[in-house]
Every structure is written in C-alpha cells, then in structure tokens.
Amino acid sequence: MALELSSPAFEQGERIPKKYTCEGDNASPPLRWHGTPDGTQSLVLLCNDPDAPAGVSRHWAVCDIAADRLELQEGHGPETLHHGLKQAINGFGKPGYGGPCPPRGDAAHHYHFRLMALSQPRLPLASDARCEEVEAAAERHVLAETELVGLYQR
C-alpha cells in the first residue's frame, strides 16, 4: 500500500475552504493519512505554494510526528505546539500554520500539502528552524512521500 494523504475538508485539486485561509480562521485543515511504509520512524508535513509571485511561499512545516499517528486535527496555528510536534517558522515569520493568502486578482494558487515518512525519529533542528530547513533536513531521510494539492484564489 502506498502512502496516501487526504482531508475531510477538501479533495485533491479542489478549493480549500475559506476557514483554512487568511480570510477565515487561518487554522490548518484536518489531514489524515495511511500506508506508512515499514521502517517509518517519524513523519513530516509541509505546505508550500509554488505559485507565489516571489517564488515558493512556505506556509507550514511540522516535524517529529510520531510514526504511529494517522492524522492531524484542524487548528494548528502559531500557538499550537503540543503532542511532541515541532512547527517551523513559516514564510510569514511565525511558527505554525499560515493559511493560503494569494494576492487578490491572481489565478488560483496550488497549495501542496506534502507528507514524508522518514527513517529518523527526530530531525536535528533548532527550535527556531524555518520551513525550508525542515524540508531540506527531511529530504535526506525519506522512505515515502505523497501530496494533497488544494487550490485557493481571492
């Protein structure tokens, strides 16, 4: 079975509900997964917008997710640091999730929620690591990965 990521809030390629954006509650959507491969010691979840005008915009990075965990409930904002999870500093300069907030008038942006199963139990990162540092560290230990892409336009 392959690693798969889904959300009860939106389907692959569909619009992310306003609730999970800068125009709503700016809280992370609920995410679920299954199919972690044997040998998985932890998981990393990223959210990036490659359509941002200045290059990839980093909206979220969560690392050190326990290998036996099967979901993240909605609502992981800047102050949500529990269950042993570590959240990196996003492109908005804050820890935790920063919801989609593309420039008004842009075509719909694609938000890539990327889940990686890792061969390491923890990533050796500083407490103030940025999303791109989490991604770079995780990529050295990937056993499997998957993406869920949602769209948002203002």
> Domain residue spans in the chain?
4-152
pLDDT for 118 equals 98
DSSP 51: T
Mean pLDDT, the chain, integer: 93
Render pLDDT for 100-112 as a digit per residue (tens, 0 to 9).
999 999 999 999 9
pLDDT for 129 equals 95
CA distance 117 to 138: 9
Integer-rounded Cα radius of gyration of the chain: 14
Higher pLDDT: 148 or 75? It is 148
Q: What is the CATH number of domain 4-152?
A: 3.90.280.10
pLDDT for 77 equals 64
pLDDT over 90 percentage in the chain = 87
Residue 135 token pair: 């991604």
Q: Give start and end residues of each alpha helix (H) in 1-154.
A: 131-139
Closest to 40 (Cα-Cα) out of 14, 2, 82: 2
Render pLDDT for 63-93 as a digit per residue (tens, 0 to 9).
999 999 999 999 876 655 556 788 999 999 9
Q: Residue 1: pLDDT band by 50, 70, 90 thresholds? A: confident
On the CB side of 97, CA atoms within 13 Å amount to 27
pTM: 0.95
pLDDT for 110 equals 98
CA distance 97 to 17: 15
Q: Residue 127: pLDDT band by 50, 70, 90 thresholds? A: confident
